[in-house]
Structure 1
Amino acid sequence: MAEQGDAGSLCPMVETTGVCQILYTLYKHGEMLTSKLQRKLPISPETFYKARNILEEHGLIEVVPTASGKIKPYRLTEKGRKIAEQIQFLSTLTRKTD
């Protein structure tokens, strides 16, 4: 069970526009370049980068090392995958009650 401090830090992060969308998109599609990920989401570039930075700071996504080091694909960390699974689960619950 998560400690109260964990839940307290998670709630404001999830309220940030784009955070859940990025998590779910990476969960559904796997590793993606920043440009491709951004194109898949209906949010402004500013909102995208803010949400991406929050996810990185909380250890939910990470840059995938590449040989060139120039392109930066992102992927979920194990922690990010677990949260994305919970988002998907909550989404199914809300659809069942509509």
Structure 2
Amino acid sequence: MKTYTVYILKCADNSYYTGVTNDIDRRLYEHENAINVNCYTAERRPLALVFCEHFEDINDAISFEKQVKGWSRKKKEAIINDNWDKLKALSICKNITSHTNFTK
């Protein structure tokens, strides 16, 4: 059975790159060797694989990848550090303009 991997790379500039692949070894090779010179990671090497999660369904993998790409750096670092329980707290809006700060 084919598996799909959502992965996060930490770049030399301390940014994160999130991707999805059906062959993690091939994809890491492509990133590390700048096979696509226009890829985000090409000018940000060296790279470190800091997270990967495997899926059997490509739709689940793509959905999770899109979700993670929209996350804040703190939320990405929570899953990188295997602190999944922190995600809920990190999702709470703390802006002064948040609806939770208005009284009726």
TM norm structure 2? 0.26
Pick the structure with greater CA Rg: 2
Structure number with the higher strand fraction is 2
TM-score of the two chains, using structure 1 as the length reference? 0.27
Greater percentage in helix: 1
